[in-house]
Structure 1
């Protein structure tokens, strides 16, 4: 990738950032907490690019950023308790985990194959202007290499991601604070991650207590372990040829009925993983079997293999 652009926080800079995002590129932008690494949440390739740029080790759910509650309703079902919290605390550092609309168009890489989506309405003025100029949902984890300190200036973003992303929209230093609070609001509110909005304030708005944590076996948001996508068919990994009754999913030189990437592109493979797994499951049919060709366990390949190992793991009845 070419040198990462530093964009000014004016109309021209915002227009250029929105143009890059519409083209599937990645742009870092400030929120009230830290800089986020934004990509079109409807694009498999853009979201896979976020994982690749960060070196994120596994497909965990990502938070989708939108400008207001009306926009959120286009992508998720907003229940009564969610609406109460949204009207009280949005825009701000509160993320709500909501049922995903079937026609949302959100990439399954954003939700890690779950039927819920985590949505936040940032309060930062520049983030708001960018979201409105872009006109769509932005998946945006922190704009730093995985495991590093979160960035609170555009310079911090450049230190970690220069050459890996298209641009940084420079909004100056962020007001350093806690990450967003994450709540599963309906039907019974659950605090999934404490953060910038105190639990006491949430409980006061709801008029009822929040249950702590969540079911570790069925995580529903960023900040928790990702649930694996369990196909009906049995999975065999590191396959180099098809056995009788199997659907082989190829990669690179290993050819199959389906492929993650004919030319061995890990970003393409990541972008296609969930859709290909579902298609293979459909082709295999009841009681069928799926074989996956070896994928290099480097870079984004580590994330792909992590998801495949989870999908292939023994399941309880």
Structure 2
């Protein structure tokens, strides 16, 4: 049963406690209602994808209660700080390189070395984020593909019974998602128009490239923004799917009782729990890539994973990792 919490001190404290426990809480921002989970807790992030029925592990936006808290987890140059000081709090998401010591779970950023961060301009959201005292991953609080919610009632229509609580923060002021700006390269790139007009951003930092052509994105092996089709982190070792046997010169990504004989292995879920497997997927790929390369393995063998529930999203990601590499 999903709790409906009022946006008073007890309600916000209850919502913050649920987030710290790893539960999911929908809350209002100035843009739309977000489906929040502890961004440092991979299991909580996996539960977000499960609740939404999201077919792919797209990067999620991390929400913070203060500017410096957001910038502490990314590499922020002078241009970034200028934009942050001028437009945060507000409906602007910045995509930036992750710091090496960033505590945010890899699943939150879909295995990428970048992070999408935002400081919302809503008093309830800011109070919740400060009391939770951690970054909160929060895509729109609706089933995947449905219209984004701008009231608590909208959230319940799609997610009642699938999440722990909704913090009724009133109707959203802006009503469209945040603008997403990529600042990882020499020139800023608009990945998604939204609540901050691109003209206002250009007045602050100069010309901004509008959008990313599909051919460019494909050649670059992926886009960096939430809400876009993304090809995510792929290991350097070749990936072999649906393995029913494993060679001595292969690393094994196991699901359930492991196949014998691998050079090294990483267990996604001994209990064949898809949510646990999703929470460990990117860590497993990275660890096997490094350990397999150290041991001279020729590839990574992946045991079969059922394509139901979150298994479908896991399979989608693994198919991308196993796809032929461009020359």
Measured against the shorter chain, the TM-score band is: over 0.9
RMSD: 1.5
| Residues in 1 aligned to 2:61 and 2:129: alpha-carbon distance in whole angstroms | 14
> What residue in structure 2 maps to residue 47 of structure 1?
45
TM-score, normalised by the number of residues in structure 2: 0.92
> What residue in structure 1 maps to residue 64 of structure 2?
66
> What residue in structure 1 maps to residue 274 of structure 2?
266
Would you say 1:198 and 2:197 are equivalent positions? yes
Number of aligned residue pairs: 314
Partner residue of 2:102 out of 101, 104, 107 = 104
> What residue in structure 2 maps to residue 184 of structure 1?
182
Q: Structure 1, residues 105-144: CA drift from partner, whole Å, max 9, x if none?
A: 1111111111111111111111011011111100000011
Superposed displacement of residue 92, structure 1: 0.9
> What residue in structure 2 maps to residue 157 of structure 1?
155
Q: Structure 1, residues 28-78: CA drift from partner, whole Å, max 9, x if none?
A: 000111110000111110101100110111011111101121111211122
**Larger mean Cα displacement after TM superposition, 33-42 or 225-234:** 225-234
Corresponding residue SS for 1:38: strand
Corresponding residue SS for 1:109: coil
> What residue in structure 1 maps to residue 292 of structure 2?
284
Corresponding residue SS for 1:46: helix
| Residues in 2 aligned to 1:226 and 1:10: alpha-carbon distance in whole angstroms | 38
Would you say 1:224 and 2:228 are equivalent positions? yes
Corresponding residue SS for 1:260: strand
**Larger mean Cα displacement after TM superposition, 82-91 or 247-256:** 247-256
Superposed displacement of residue 277, structure 1: 1.2
> What residue in structure 1 maps to residue 17 of structure 2?
19
Superposed displacement of residue 248, structure 1: 2.4
| Residues in 2 aligned to 1:281 and 1:162: alpha-carbon distance in whole angstroms | 40
Would you say 1:140 and 2:138 are equivalent positions? yes
Superposed displacement of residue 247, structure 1: 2.1
| Residues in 2 aligned to 1:287 and 1:232: alpha-carbon distance in whole angstroms | 11
**Larger mean Cα displacement after TM superposition, 12-21 or 154-163:** 154-163
> What residue in structure 2 maps to residue 302 of structure 1?
312
Superposed displacement of residue 253, structure 1: 4.8
Is contact 1:249-1:255 (8 Å) kept?
A: no
